[in-house]
Amino acid sequence: KCRTGPLDIVFVIDSSRSVRPFEFETMRRFMMDIIGSLDVGPNATRVGVIQYSSQVQNIFSLKTFFTRADMEKAINSIIPLAQGTMTGLAIQYTMNVAFTTQEGARPLHKKIPRIAIIVTDGRPQDRVSEVAAQARNAGIEIYAVGIQRADMNSLRAMASPPLEDHVFLVESFELIQQFGKQFQDKLCGVDMCVEQEHGCQHSCVSTPGSFYCECNPGYRLNMDGKTCSPIDACVGRRHGCQHQCISTCGSHSCHCHTGYRLNQDKRSCSMIDYCSFGNHSCQHECVSIPHGHYCRCRSGFTLQPDARSCRATDLCNGVDHGCEFKCVSTEGSYRCMCPEGQQLQPDGKGCTRKTFGDGNGGFWAETPGHALSHFLASPWLQIQGVHTVSSNPSAPPPPPPPDLLEVSPHGTRVGLVQYSSRVRTEFPLNKYHSADEIKKAVMEVEYMEKGTMTGLALKHMVEHSFSELEGARPLSHNVPRIGLVFTDGRSQDDISEWARKAKESGIVMFAVGVGKAVEEELRAIASEPVEQHFSYSADFTTMTHLVENFKLNICPEEGKGVTEIRSPCECEALVQFQTNTVAILQSLTEKNILWVSLARSLAQMTARLEDLEKQIANKK
């Protein structure tokens, strides 16, 4: 066996018409004998075969087969071309195609010898000198083997120097097998890595008449051609590593800083979530940091000395809250409170006496056949009348009902929404500041046609109408919010969800049905107790009787049998006291006049009785 190290060998076989069949069989035997002496394999010697005549045919390339059995099978399957002898064309193909890395040749920097063995029996029909020189300059070592009629000058023009080692002439095909053994010795030569001290640090590769040193994977050969140094794969580039690039045996790997773990992409890093281990014992929140974790309290709480538990912060004792009556600490904040019978001023700190009809509300009225939604919301709601809409839009409006509520920027705020198949805000809570303005705006509302989407209107009321953006006071001010829904028919969408959400959000809901309104839907809209929060009217012309009911339910202190306790020093109380006193005096005066009249009648009757007694006595 040839042990000189890996080679890249390409056989270039002449199969022109001058080569008789039995002679071609001898050439097959020659190739298989040479291959049999080689250590073939992907990392050892690679072999390719091409045949030529007037054209070139690739039998198998350097990357096709890596076992002798496969190579011999392919060689035995060759069918000669039997045409001209274009040797120059074959050398051109060998240089430009057969010895390329795409066809399986090892790169030149690996210093694997590239050997072409040309076997021919005739004179070339094209020029070979120039193309052979180009092939030799490209690093291809050419052996020229001529048989019988071969032209010696052409063989010498093709072969590499020294010519005595690379040019062979065989007198007949019968002698080629014997020549094969001689050629094998030339090709394999002496294993220079064995015969002398090579000095290679890692490995020695023998070539015909010489050797060279190679390094193991992950190392590079130094300038001395013998020693090796590790290849730092991270020098000059990070390979996409987010934190660190670590060089390992010519390759690399990404590493993360302490407290981070490498992600599945093997490049990026994520901080280790120490809180996810479940052993932090934090009462409120656990916060991960690169080297561990710490506990954090929610807003309004203070972390205790044990670094785990939390205690609420009493902001009323730590800030200048400015509350007129009382400060109440809440989680992370505080709010002011007023005594019973008083309410917070808009500044959220001062207190004023409650006025009649306090509350946030919503009016929902219907135009004929479709819903005109009026919502009224704000603190201390006092509406001084909302006109009902006549079933005949061209008829003059009926007289307004008695005033219910007082409207002012710091008292009641009123908004109005109309709905049908869609919802439209006519005016928000912060638009008008007097009852006259609201009455005028209501009368200017344009009638909407089409469907009755009460559920959609309730959704609009909850999400928009009672928002601070549209004028509702913050919930922290404890201002009642009241919604009044007026409808004259069955809703065309579901009302249950948004009726429930309205009540859950703190809106006191009143439902008023007119005409064909459905009692079941009205009850679903109304707050508890339902009987006090829904009403029904046969038509729009009889709705005025509902005003007193609203007055009693929205403003319960005006109900019958309720005694209002007022300070005797307040102006309204004094006026009321004066009015009550006048009424009592008038009543007493009327009674006194009656007694005087009775006394006069009695005196007259007594006088007449005395006269009668005297007359009887005289007759006796």
239 — pLDDT class (breaks 50, 70, 90): confident
State yes or no: pLDDT of 58 exceeds 90.
Answer: yes
State yes or no: pLDDT of 236 exceeds 70.
Answer: no
* Predicted local distance difference test score (pLDDT) of residue 219: 85
Chain length of the chain: 620
Comparing C-alpha atoms, which of 377, 400, 396, 376 is closest to residue 388?
A: 400
* Predicted local distance difference test score (pLDDT) of residue 96: 96
The structure tokens 């070139």 sit at 56
Mean pLDDT, residues 281-288 taken together:
89
Can you tell me the distance from the alpha carbon of 144 to that of 31, in angstroms, rounded to the nearest whole number? 14
Sign of the C-alpha dihedral, residues 221, 224, 226, 229? negative
* Predicted local distance difference test score (pLDDT) of residue 100: 96
DSSP 3-state assignment of 328? strand
| CATH classification (class only), 416-554 | alpha beta
State yes or no: pLDDT of 441 exceeds 50.
Answer: yes
- Own/partner pairs, 446-451, CB within 8 angstroms, 24+ separation: 447/367, 447/368, 447/370, 447/372, 447/389, 447/393, 448/367, 448/370, 448/372, 448/418, 448/419, 448/420, 448/422, 448/424, 449/370, 449/420, 450/370, 450/420, 450/421, 450/422, 451/370, 451/420, 451/421, 451/492
Of the candidate ranges 60-64, 164-168, 602-606, the one whose mean pLDDT is the lowest = 602-606
| CATH classification (class only), 7-188 | alpha beta
Of the candidate ranges 172-186, 193-207, 257-271, 514-528, the one whose mean pLDDT is the lowest = 172-186
379 — pLDDT class (breaks 50, 70, 90): very low
User: With pLDDT > 90 as the criterion, what percentage of the chain qualifies?
Assistant: 24
Highest mean pLDDT among 48-57, 209-218, 297-306: 48-57
State yes or no: pLDDT of 1 exceeds 60.
Answer: no
593 — pLDDT class (breaks 50, 70, 90): low
178 — pLDDT class (breaks 50, 70, 90): low
288 Rama sector, left if φ>0, alpha if ψ -120 to 50, beta otherwise: beta
pLDDT greater at residue 290 or residue 15: 15
* Predicted local distance difference test score (pLDDT) of residue 232: 78
Cis peptide bond prior to 480, omega within 30° of 0: no
Comparing C-alpha atoms, which of 488, 456, 455, 450 is closest to residue 368?
A: 488
Check if the beta carbon of residue 117 is closer than 8 Å to that of residue 14.
no
pLDDT greater at residue 468 or residue 342: 468
The 3-state DSSP composition of the chain as helix, strand, coil percent (nearest 5) reads 35, 25, 45
Can you tell me the distance from the alpha carbon of 256 to that of 258, in angstroms, rounded to the nearest whole number? 7
Tens digits of residue pLDDT in 32-46: 888 887 888 998 899
Tens digits of residue pLDDT in 544-566: 556 666 666 666 554 444 444 44
Compute CA distances 393 → 422, 445, 446, 471, 546, whole Å. Answer: 21, 11, 10, 31, 22
* Predicted local distance difference test score (pLDDT) of residue 242: 84
402 — pLDDT class (breaks 50, 70, 90): very low
* Predicted local distance difference test score (pLDDT) of residue 611: 74
Highest mean pLDDT among 97-111, 215-229, 502-516, 590-604: 97-111
* Predicted local distance difference test score (pLDDT) of residue 182: 61
Tens digits of residue pLDDT in 246-273: 877 667 788 888 888 889 898 899 888 8
* Residues in CB range of 255: below 8 A, 6 or more apart: 241, 243, 244, 245, 246, 262
Can you tell me the distance from the alpha carbon of 436 to that of 445, in angstroms, rounded to the nearest whole number? 15
Tens digits of residue pLDDT in 570-586: 555 555 655 665 566 55
Tens digits of residue pLDDT in 462-505: 999 999 888 888 988 888 888 988 887 788 888 999 999 999 99
Mean pLDDT, residues 399-413 taken together:
67
Check if the beta carbon of residue 202 is closer than 8 Å to that of residue 228.
yes
Mean pLDDT, residues 53-72 taken together:
95
Query: What is the CA angle 61-64-65, rounded to 5?
Result: 115
pTM to 2 decimals?
Answer: 0.37
Q: Can you give the residue ranges of every domain in the chain?
A: 7-188, 283-312, 416-554
- H helices present in 342-404, as ranges: none
CB atoms under 10 Å from CB of 49, counted, come to: 25
Intrachain domains 7-188 and 416-554 with the same fold:
yes
Q: What is the mean pLDDT of the chain?
A: 78
pLDDT greater at residue 61 or residue 37: 61
